[in-house]
Amino acid sequence: MKIHIQSPTRVDLAGGTLDLWPLYLLVGGSASTVNVAIDIYTHAILENRNDDSIRLESKDLNLVKDYKNLAEALADTDPRMILLQTQLRYWKPQKGFSLTTKSDSPVGGGLGGSSSLTISLMKAFAQFTGHKFQNTHELVHIAHNIEAEILNTPTGTQDYYPAVSGGLNILKYDYNGIRQEVLQVENSPLAQHFLLVYTGKAHHSGLNNFEVMKGSIAKDPTTLKALKDIRDIAIATEQVVRAGEWRKLPALFRAEFEARVRLAPAFTSPEIEKLNQLSLQNGAEAVKICGAGGGGCVLVWTPENKKEGVESACQKAGFQVLATRPVNPLPLP
Task: Mark whether 13 and 156 lie in a shared domain.
Answer: yes
Q: What is the pLDDT of residue 205?
A: 58
What would the pLDDT profile of 251-274 be if each residue is shown by its tens digit?
999 999 999 999 988 888 999 999
Provide the H-helix boundaries in the chain: 70-75, 82-91, 113-129, 136-151, 160-165, 190-193, 209-217, 221-243, 249-263, 270-281, 307-316
What would the pLDDT profile of 128-138 be if each residue is shown by its tens digit?
999 999 999 99
Pick from 155, 183, 211: which residue ends a domain? 183
- The answer to the question of residue 123 being in a domain is yes
Task: Mark whether 6 and 153 lie in a shared domain.
Answer: yes
Task: Mark whether 136 and 261 lie in a shared domain.
Answer: no
Distances (CA, A) of 131 to 45, 141, 248: 17, 15, 44
Pick from 135, 167, 183: which residue ends a domain? 183
Lowest model confidence (mean pLDDT) among 48-52, 185-189, 262-266, 289-293: 185-189
Task: Mark whether 102 and 245 lie in a shared domain.
Answer: no
Q: Which residues of 92-122 are buried (b: 16+ CB within 10 A; e: fewer)?
A: ebeebbbbbbbbbbbebbbbbbbbbbbbbbb
- The answer to the question of residue 46 being in a domain is yes
pLDDT at 296 over 80: yes
pLDDT at 203 over 70: no
- The answer to the question of residue 327 being in a domain is no
Strands 31-48 and 97-103: antiparallel
Pick from 159, 183, 207: which residue ends a domain? 183
DSSP codes, 147-186: HHHHHTS---STTHHHHHH-SEEEEEEETTEEEEEEE--T
Choose among 204, 205, 202: nearest CA to 298. Answer: 202
Task: Mark whether 307 and 213 lie in a shared domain.
Answer: yes
Task: Mark whether 298 and 272 lie in a shared domain.
Answer: yes
- The answer to the question of residue 176 being in a domain is yes
Task: Mark whether 135 and 167 lie in a shared domain.
Answer: yes
Q: What is the pLDDT of residue 79?
A: 95
| 260 CB neighbour count, 10 Å cutoff | 25
CATH of the domain at 255: 3.30.70.890
Domain count, the chain: 2
Please report, to the nearest 10 degrees, the dihedral formed by the alpha carbons of residues 145, 113, 97, 140 taken in order. Answer: 30
Choose among 24, 86, 77, 84: nearest CA to 54. Answer: 84
- The answer to the question of residue 329 being in a domain is no
pLDDT at 148 over 80: yes
Q: What is the pLDDT of residue 153?
A: 83
Task: Mark whether 179 and 194 lie in a shared domain.
Answer: no
- The answer to the question of residue 333 being in a domain is no
Task: Mark whether 81 and 211 lie in a shared domain.
Answer: no
Task: Mark whether 62 and 209 lie in a shared domain.
Answer: no
Question: Which residue range(s) make up the domain with 229?
Answer: 190-322
Task: Mark whether 173 and 233 lie in a shared domain.
Answer: no
CATH of the domain at 158: 3.30.230.10
What would the pLDDT profile of 51-78 be if each residue is shown by its tens digit?
999 999 999 999 999 999 999 999 999 9
